[in-house]
Amino acid sequence: MRAVPFIERPIEGLAPCYLLKGSDGCIIRAVADKILSMLPPDEREINYDEFGDDTAIADVLAALETVSLTGGKRVVFLRRRSRAMTDEEKKDFAAYCAVPNLDSVLIVEDTPQMYGRLKQYMFEIDCSPATASEIKDTALAEIGARNCTISAGALAKLVDYCNLNYGRVAVEVAKLCDYADGAKIDEAAVEALVTPDADYKGYLLASYFDEGKTDAALGILSGMRSKGDAAAKILAIITSSYRKILHCAISSLGDGELAAALGASEASIRVTRSNIRERKRSVSGYVVKLKDKTEYLYELEYKFKSGLISDENALRLAVGKLAADAR
Protein backbone atom coordinates (compact mmCIF):
# COMPACT_ATOMS: atom_id res chain seq x y z
CA MET A 1 0.00 0.00 0.00
CA ARG A 2 1.18 3.53 -0.75
CA ALA A 3 1.99 5.60 2.33
CA VAL A 4 -0.02 8.73 1.52
CA PRO A 5 -3.43 6.97 1.41
CA PHE A 6 -2.48 5.11 4.60
CA ILE A 7 -1.67 8.40 6.34
CA GLU A 8 -4.75 10.25 5.16
CA ARG A 9 -7.47 7.61 5.51
CA PRO A 10 -8.96 6.30 8.76
CA ILE A 11 -7.40 3.09 10.09
CA GLU A 12 -9.97 0.45 10.97
CA GLY A 13 -7.52 -1.75 12.87
CA LEU A 14 -3.79 -2.21 13.41
CA ALA A 15 -1.77 -5.06 11.91
CA PRO A 16 0.73 -6.79 14.23
CA CYS A 17 3.71 -6.05 11.93
CA TYR A 18 4.39 -3.25 9.42
CA LEU A 19 7.29 -3.07 6.96
CA LEU A 20 8.01 0.48 5.78
CA LYS A 21 9.76 0.38 2.42
CA GLY A 22 11.28 3.41 0.69
CA SER A 23 13.58 6.27 1.55
CA ASP A 24 11.41 9.32 2.30
CA GLY A 25 12.15 10.03 5.97
CA CYS A 26 9.29 12.52 6.32
CA ILE A 27 6.75 10.00 5.06
CA ILE A 28 8.22 7.20 7.20
CA ARG A 29 7.83 9.40 10.27
CA ALA A 30 4.26 10.33 9.27
CA VAL A 31 3.32 6.64 8.89
CA ALA A 32 4.76 5.83 12.33
CA ASP A 33 2.87 8.78 13.84
CA LYS A 34 -0.35 7.64 12.16
CA ILE A 35 -0.02 4.18 13.72
CA LEU A 36 0.84 5.73 17.08
CA SER A 37 -2.24 7.96 16.84
CA MET A 38 -4.39 4.85 17.25
CA LEU A 39 -3.33 4.70 20.91
CA PRO A 40 -5.20 6.90 23.39
CA PRO A 41 -3.31 10.21 23.82
CA ASP A 42 -2.42 9.53 27.45
CA GLU A 43 -0.90 6.13 26.56
CA ARG A 44 1.30 7.12 23.60
CA GLU A 45 4.37 7.98 25.63
CA ILE A 46 4.36 5.04 28.03
CA ASN A 47 3.39 2.42 25.41
CA TYR A 48 5.86 3.42 22.69
CA ASP A 49 9.47 2.32 22.21
CA GLU A 50 11.83 3.31 19.41
CA PHE A 51 15.04 1.39 18.76
CA GLY A 52 18.03 2.39 16.67
CA ASP A 53 21.05 0.87 14.99
CA ASP A 54 22.89 -0.57 17.98
CA THR A 55 19.94 -2.20 19.70
CA ALA A 56 20.11 -5.96 20.14
CA ILE A 57 17.17 -7.76 18.54
CA ALA A 58 16.57 -9.49 21.88
CA ASP A 59 15.75 -6.08 23.42
CA VAL A 60 13.29 -5.31 20.61
CA LEU A 61 11.54 -8.66 21.07
CA ALA A 62 11.44 -8.18 24.85
CA ALA A 63 9.70 -4.82 24.38
CA LEU A 64 7.15 -6.44 22.06
CA GLU A 65 6.38 -9.12 24.63
CA THR A 66 6.11 -6.65 27.53
CA VAL A 67 2.56 -6.34 28.84
CA SER A 68 1.13 -2.83 28.62
CA LEU A 69 0.54 -1.30 32.05
CA THR A 70 -2.67 0.30 30.75
CA GLY A 71 -4.04 -2.84 29.13
CA GLY A 72 -3.85 -1.33 25.62
CA LYS A 73 -1.47 -2.01 22.76
CA ARG A 74 2.25 -1.31 22.70
CA VAL A 75 3.95 0.12 19.61
CA VAL A 76 7.59 -0.68 18.90
CA PHE A 77 9.46 1.06 16.05
CA LEU A 78 12.68 -0.56 14.80
CA ARG A 79 14.47 2.11 12.77
CA ARG A 80 16.69 1.46 9.74
CA ARG A 81 19.74 -0.60 10.69
CA SER A 82 23.19 -0.69 9.10
CA ARG A 83 24.38 -3.47 11.40
CA ALA A 84 23.29 -6.86 10.07
CA MET A 85 21.51 -9.29 12.33
CA THR A 86 23.30 -12.43 13.44
CA ASP A 87 21.93 -15.79 12.31
CA GLU A 88 20.48 -16.30 15.78
CA GLU A 89 18.83 -12.86 15.73
CA LYS A 90 17.34 -13.57 12.30
CA LYS A 91 15.91 -16.82 13.57
CA ASP A 92 14.40 -15.22 16.69
CA PHE A 93 13.03 -12.25 14.73
CA ALA A 94 11.46 -14.49 12.09
CA ALA A 95 9.88 -16.64 14.82
CA TYR A 96 8.28 -13.55 16.37
CA CYS A 97 6.96 -12.21 13.04
CA ALA A 98 5.42 -15.60 12.24
CA VAL A 99 3.58 -15.68 15.58
CA PRO A 100 3.44 -12.07 16.84
CA ASN A 101 2.06 -10.78 20.10
CA LEU A 102 -1.35 -9.42 19.10
CA ASP A 103 -1.22 -6.89 21.92
CA SER A 104 1.82 -5.21 20.32
CA VAL A 105 2.45 -3.47 17.00
CA LEU A 106 5.88 -3.77 15.36
CA ILE A 107 6.99 -1.14 12.84
CA VAL A 108 10.14 -1.99 10.88
CA GLU A 109 11.95 0.54 8.68
CA ASP A 110 13.16 -1.57 5.77
CA THR A 111 16.81 -2.20 5.01
CA PRO A 112 17.58 -3.85 1.65
CA GLN A 113 18.20 -7.60 1.93
CA MET A 114 17.59 -7.66 5.69
CA TYR A 115 13.86 -8.34 6.02
CA GLY A 116 12.95 -9.67 2.57
CA ARG A 117 12.11 -13.20 3.71
CA LEU A 118 9.80 -11.83 6.40
CA LYS A 119 7.56 -9.91 3.98
CA GLN A 120 4.92 -12.64 4.10
CA TYR A 121 4.32 -11.84 7.77
CA MET A 122 4.21 -8.05 7.43
CA PHE A 123 1.87 -5.41 6.05
CA GLU A 124 4.00 -3.48 3.55
CA ILE A 125 3.74 0.29 3.18
CA ASP A 126 5.53 2.02 0.31
CA CYS A 127 7.25 5.10 1.81
CA SER A 128 8.96 6.26 -1.36
CA PRO A 129 8.48 9.97 -2.19
CA ALA A 130 4.93 11.12 -2.89
CA THR A 131 3.85 11.40 -6.50
CA ALA A 132 2.65 14.66 -8.04
CA SER A 133 -0.88 13.22 -8.07
CA GLU A 134 -0.70 12.39 -4.35
CA ILE A 135 0.62 15.86 -3.52
CA LYS A 136 -2.21 17.39 -5.56
CA ASP A 137 -4.89 15.26 -3.89
CA THR A 138 -3.48 16.01 -0.43
CA ALA A 139 -3.43 19.74 -1.12
CA LEU A 140 -7.00 19.72 -2.43
CA ALA A 141 -8.24 17.79 0.60
CA GLU A 142 -6.47 20.19 2.99
CA ILE A 143 -7.76 23.25 1.13
CA GLY A 144 -11.32 21.90 1.10
CA ALA A 145 -11.16 21.14 4.81
CA ARG A 146 -10.27 24.79 5.39
CA ASN A 147 -13.26 25.99 3.33
CA CYS A 148 -11.16 27.46 0.53
CA THR A 149 -10.76 26.73 -3.18
CA ILE A 150 -7.78 26.99 -5.51
CA SER A 151 -7.40 27.63 -9.23
CA ALA A 152 -5.92 24.92 -11.46
CA GLY A 153 -2.89 27.07 -12.23
CA ALA A 154 -2.27 27.85 -8.57
CA LEU A 155 -2.55 24.17 -7.63
CA ALA A 156 -0.04 23.19 -10.33
CA LYS A 157 2.37 25.87 -9.12
CA LEU A 158 1.97 24.76 -5.50
CA VAL A 159 2.75 21.14 -6.44
CA ASP A 160 5.82 22.29 -8.38
CA TYR A 161 7.06 24.53 -5.58
CA CYS A 162 6.75 21.71 -3.02
CA ASN A 163 8.81 19.47 -5.38
CA LEU A 164 7.16 16.24 -4.12
CA ASN A 165 8.01 17.14 -0.51
CA TYR A 166 4.95 15.74 1.28
CA GLY A 167 5.95 17.33 4.58
CA ARG A 168 5.54 20.84 3.15
CA VAL A 169 1.98 20.49 1.87
CA ALA A 170 0.02 21.01 5.09
CA VAL A 171 2.24 23.91 6.15
CA GLU A 172 1.97 25.73 2.82
CA VAL A 173 -1.78 25.10 2.51
CA ALA A 174 -2.38 26.50 6.00
CA LYS A 175 -0.47 29.64 5.05
CA LEU A 176 -2.39 30.06 1.78
CA CYS A 177 -5.80 29.46 3.38
CA ASP A 178 -5.11 31.93 6.17
CA TYR A 179 -4.27 34.48 3.50
CA ALA A 180 -7.28 33.66 1.30
CA ASP A 181 -9.69 33.64 4.28
CA GLY A 182 -12.34 31.56 2.53
CA ALA A 183 -11.75 32.96 -0.96
CA LYS A 184 -10.10 31.32 -3.97
CA ILE A 185 -6.32 30.89 -3.93
CA ASP A 186 -4.74 32.13 -7.16
CA GLU A 187 -1.27 31.86 -8.71
CA ALA A 188 -0.25 35.28 -7.38
CA ALA A 189 -0.86 34.08 -3.81
CA VAL A 190 1.28 30.95 -4.33
CA GLU A 191 4.08 33.04 -5.85
CA ALA A 192 3.94 35.51 -2.97
CA LEU A 193 3.65 33.09 -0.05
CA VAL A 194 5.31 29.81 -1.07
CA THR A 195 9.07 29.60 -1.46
CA PRO A 196 10.00 27.15 -4.23
CA ASP A 197 12.09 24.21 -3.11
CA ALA A 198 15.76 25.06 -3.79
CA ASP A 199 16.24 21.89 -5.82
CA TYR A 200 13.16 22.75 -7.86
CA LYS A 201 14.36 26.28 -8.61
CA GLY A 202 17.79 25.01 -9.61
CA TYR A 203 16.34 22.27 -11.78
CA LEU A 204 13.94 24.74 -13.38
CA LEU A 205 16.79 27.14 -14.13
CA ALA A 206 18.89 24.40 -15.71
CA SER A 207 15.91 23.05 -17.65
CA TYR A 208 14.97 26.46 -19.05
CA PHE A 209 18.53 27.15 -20.19
CA ASP A 210 18.76 23.63 -21.57
CA GLU A 211 15.56 24.03 -23.57
CA GLY A 212 16.46 27.47 -24.90
CA LYS A 213 13.89 29.28 -22.72
CA THR A 214 16.35 32.00 -21.78
CA ASP A 215 13.77 34.63 -20.88
CA ALA A 216 12.08 32.26 -18.42
CA ALA A 217 15.44 31.38 -16.85
CA LEU A 218 16.42 35.04 -16.53
CA GLY A 219 13.05 35.74 -14.94
CA ILE A 220 13.77 33.20 -12.20
CA LEU A 221 17.24 34.65 -11.69
CA SER A 222 15.83 38.16 -11.44
CA GLY A 223 13.32 37.01 -8.83
CA MET A 224 16.02 35.30 -6.77
CA ARG A 225 18.20 38.41 -6.82
CA SER A 226 15.29 40.69 -5.88
CA LYS A 227 14.64 38.49 -2.84
CA GLY A 228 18.23 38.91 -1.72
CA ASP A 229 19.78 35.61 -2.84
CA ALA A 230 23.55 36.10 -3.12
CA ALA A 231 25.37 35.41 -6.39
CA ALA A 232 27.41 32.68 -4.69
CA LYS A 233 24.23 30.88 -3.59
CA ILE A 234 22.66 31.06 -7.04
CA LEU A 235 25.85 29.82 -8.70
CA ALA A 236 25.97 26.88 -6.27
CA ILE A 237 22.32 26.00 -7.00
CA ILE A 238 22.87 26.08 -10.78
CA THR A 239 26.09 24.07 -10.57
CA SER A 240 24.48 21.47 -8.30
CA SER A 241 21.52 21.13 -10.65
CA TYR A 242 23.70 20.57 -13.70
CA ARG A 243 25.78 18.04 -11.74
CA LYS A 244 22.64 16.07 -10.88
CA ILE A 245 21.35 16.22 -14.47
CA LEU A 246 24.71 14.99 -15.78
CA HIS A 247 24.76 12.11 -13.30
CA CYS A 248 21.24 11.17 -14.39
CA ALA A 249 22.48 11.11 -17.98
CA ILE A 250 25.60 8.97 -17.48
CA SER A 251 25.11 6.91 -14.32
CA SER A 252 24.35 3.18 -14.50
CA LEU A 253 22.80 3.22 -11.01
CA GLY A 254 19.09 2.54 -10.60
CA ASP A 255 16.74 5.42 -9.83
CA GLY A 256 16.64 4.63 -6.10
CA GLU A 257 20.40 4.23 -5.73
CA LEU A 258 21.11 7.41 -7.68
CA ALA A 259 18.53 9.35 -5.67
CA ALA A 260 20.27 8.28 -2.46
CA ALA A 261 23.70 9.19 -3.86
CA LEU A 262 22.60 12.65 -5.00
CA GLY A 263 20.33 13.45 -2.06
CA ALA A 264 17.34 13.78 -4.38
CA SER A 265 13.92 12.15 -4.51
CA GLU A 266 13.52 9.02 -6.58
CA ALA A 267 10.58 10.61 -8.39
CA SER A 268 12.69 13.60 -9.46
CA ILE A 269 15.36 11.25 -10.82
CA ARG A 270 12.75 9.44 -12.92
CA VAL A 271 11.39 12.70 -14.31
CA THR A 272 14.89 14.02 -15.08
CA ARG A 273 15.88 10.82 -16.87
CA SER A 274 12.70 10.94 -18.94
CA ASN A 275 13.51 14.52 -19.98
CA ILE A 276 17.08 13.54 -20.82
CA ARG A 277 15.85 10.79 -23.14
CA GLU A 278 13.78 13.38 -25.00
CA ARG A 279 16.74 15.79 -25.25
CA LYS A 280 19.01 13.03 -26.58
CA ARG A 281 16.56 12.43 -29.41
CA SER A 282 16.33 16.10 -30.36
CA VAL A 283 19.85 17.43 -29.69
CA SER A 284 22.95 16.00 -31.37
CA GLY A 285 25.75 15.25 -28.89
CA TYR A 286 23.53 16.24 -25.98
CA VAL A 287 25.44 14.45 -23.21
CA VAL A 288 28.80 15.87 -24.37
CA LYS A 289 27.34 19.39 -24.36
CA LEU A 290 25.84 18.80 -20.92
CA LYS A 291 29.23 17.64 -19.65
CA ASP A 292 30.94 20.75 -21.07
CA LYS A 293 28.45 23.06 -19.33
CA THR A 294 28.85 21.27 -16.02
CA GLU A 295 32.65 21.40 -16.18
CA TYR A 296 32.52 25.11 -17.04
CA LEU A 297 30.32 25.80 -14.02
CA TYR A 298 32.69 23.84 -11.78
CA GLU A 299 35.61 25.87 -13.14
CA LEU A 300 33.83 29.15 -12.37
CA GLU A 301 32.97 27.98 -8.87
CA TYR A 302 36.60 27.00 -8.29
CA LYS A 303 37.85 30.40 -9.50
CA PHE A 304 35.39 32.20 -7.23
CA LYS A 305 36.30 30.10 -4.19
CA SER A 306 40.00 30.59 -4.94
CA GLY A 307 39.59 34.37 -5.00
CA LEU A 308 40.46 34.69 -8.68
CA ILE A 309 37.11 36.28 -9.55
CA SER A 310 34.19 37.63 -7.53
CA ASP A 311 30.96 35.69 -7.06
CA GLU A 312 29.15 38.35 -9.10
CA ASN A 313 31.51 37.91 -12.04
CA ALA A 314 31.33 34.13 -11.74
CA LEU A 315 27.53 34.21 -11.92
CA ARG A 316 27.61 36.70 -14.81
CA LEU A 317 29.94 34.43 -16.79
CA ALA A 318 27.84 31.36 -15.99
CA VAL A 319 24.62 32.99 -17.16
CA GLY A 320 26.33 34.32 -20.27
CA LYS A 321 27.63 30.87 -21.19
CA LEU A 322 24.31 29.11 -20.58
CA ALA A 323 22.33 31.78 -22.43
CA ALA A 324 24.72 31.66 -25.41
CA ASP A 325 24.55 27.87 -25.61
CA ALA A 326 20.76 28.04 -25.48
CA ARG A 327 20.56 30.00 -28.75
81-112 confidence digits (pLDDT tens): 888 888 899 899 999 999 999 999 999 998 87
Say whether both 167 and 229 belong to one domain: no
Give the CATH number of the domain where residue 155 resides: 1.10.8
Say whether both 294 and 213 belong to one domain: yes
Give the CATH number of the domain where residue 266 resides: 1.20.272.10
Query: Across the strands, what pairs with 20?
Result: 109, 125
Say whether both 168 and 229 belong to one domain: no
pLDDT at 325: 82
Contact 182, 148 (CB under 8 A): yes
Say whether both 186 and 263 belong to one domain: no
Q: Is the pLDDT of residue 233 over 90?
A: no
Say whether both 108 and 48 belong to one domain: yes
- Domain residues for the domain of 226 are 198-326
pTM of this structure: 0.62
Contact 8, 134 (CB under 8 A): no
Residue 221: which residues within 8 A CB-CB, separation 6 or more? 205, 234, 319
Say whether both 221 and 298 belong to one domain: yes
Q: Which of 126, 151, 174 is the last residue of a domain?
A: 126
Q: Which of 154, 177, 193 is the last residue of a domain?
A: 193
Say whether both 212 and 322 belong to one domain: yes
Q: Which of 170, 193, 216 is the last residue of a domain?
A: 193
pLDDT at 267: 63
pLDDT in tens, 273-323: 888 888 888 888 889 988 999 999 999 989 998 989 999 999 999 999 888
pLDDT at 199: 66
Say whether both 115 and 14 belong to one domain: yes
d(CA 279, CA 186): 32
The percentage of residues in the chain with a pLDDT greater than 90, rounded to a whole number, is 39
Q: How many domains does the chain have?
A: 3
pLDDT in tens, 213-223: 888 888 888 87
Say whether both 156 and 177 belong to one domain: yes
Say whether both 75 and 189 belong to one domain: no
d(CA 241, CA 239): 5
Say whether both 12 and 120 belong to one domain: yes
Say whether both 101 and 164 belong to one domain: no
